[in-house]
Amino acid sequence: MKPDDLPLALRYQRHNRGRLAVLGGLALLLAASFLFDLASGPAGLSLGSVLHGLWQPANLDAAQRVIVFDVRLPYALMALVVGAALGLGGAQMQTVLNNPLASPFTLGLAAAATLGASLAIVFQHLQPLPANLLVPLAAFGCALGVTGLILLLSRWHGGGGATLVLFGIALLFALEALVWLLQFLAEANALEQIVFWSMGSLARASLQHVGLVGVALALCFALAMRRAWALTLLRGGETHAASLGVNVARLRASTLVEVSLLTSAALAFVGTIGFVGLVGPHIARLLVGEQHRFLLPASLLCGALMLSLASIASKTIVPGLIIPIGIVTALVGVPVFIALILSRKGGV
């Protein structure tokens, strides 16, 4: 019997089993990438020795334990949770804004986080808090503040997704101008810190930071999955979703608040990392389609896989040197995104 001759319910079940298989394959690829990320780096530890050390830490000497557990493990785990957060956030933003170019950066969240971090770096001598706490807090708070401002402007104007995007683009340029002004006024040491932060780096990762981002990711993923059916309906158009009982305005506002929380928590510790939240959901969409109960976890896995692979590349492109991961994602993300556009032939 040909697939087209099967009953609709049976074909639907078969498609869902295929989507589950894709999710399983992505999870396996992610596990392999994580292990190779642990094994890569200037120290030259083999994959076998790293795996053996993870299973029996006593077999590693003191220097190797520091490398594996204090440096590489937080680095690799942070790549997973940050990439997953950006991928999950990007998928939701592309849906609620009905814009294939939407990502956590569309509304200026990354620029806001950079501004908050820059303010903390420039004026940290006036604050009692240590820099390793002040900078992420300032980045987190500034990104949330910008999200609230955009939602207030949109509510006052009464516009939809297109209005949100326009407000976000306008704020993006304003925030970037403020960051440039701070760079112009900053002293040499502060300027160097701002530039390094804006490049994006996993070097500041710790297990405590991983835990904080992981908790935010778990909570936001649970909220996103509760809205999966409504988000799927929204892909058919606002009128279609509203006719089936979806409060589009409330769905858009709650999703944007959740994505801003998720993105702010992720970027607060690693700086600016682009293209993951834009490209990851498009790859997931090609693999599993538009049904959000599969698209959301697939976007999460694709984002995590992209940043994990970028983490490996950042440590292997130039032997003995770790390139800021934001540079790697931008250099790799551009050709990948262009290839996705060309593969569709009819547009994104």
Q: What percentage of residues in the chain have a pLDDT greater than 90? A: 29
Provide the pLDDT for residue 160.
65
Provide the pLDDT for residue 158.
65
Burial of 316 (0-12, 13-18, 19+ CB in 10 A): middle
CB distance 42 to 320 below 8 Å: yes
Could you give the CA distance from residue 12 to residue 10 in angstroms, rounded to a whole number? Answer: 5
Ranges of residues in the chain whose predicted pLDDT is under 50: none
The pTM for the full model equals: 0.88
Q: What angle do helix axes 109-122 and 248-270 make, rounded to 10 degrees?
A: 40
Q: What percentage of residues in the chain have a pLDDT greater than 70? A: 92
The amino acid occupying position 47 is L
CB distance 139 to 120 below 8 Å: yes
**DSSP-assigned states of every residue in 271-287:** ----SHHHHHHHHHHHH
Q: Could you tell me how many helices (H) and strands (E) the chain has, helices first?
A: 15, 0
Provide the pLDDT for residue 92.
94
Provide the pLDDT for residue 23.
96
3-class secondary-structure state, position 185: helix
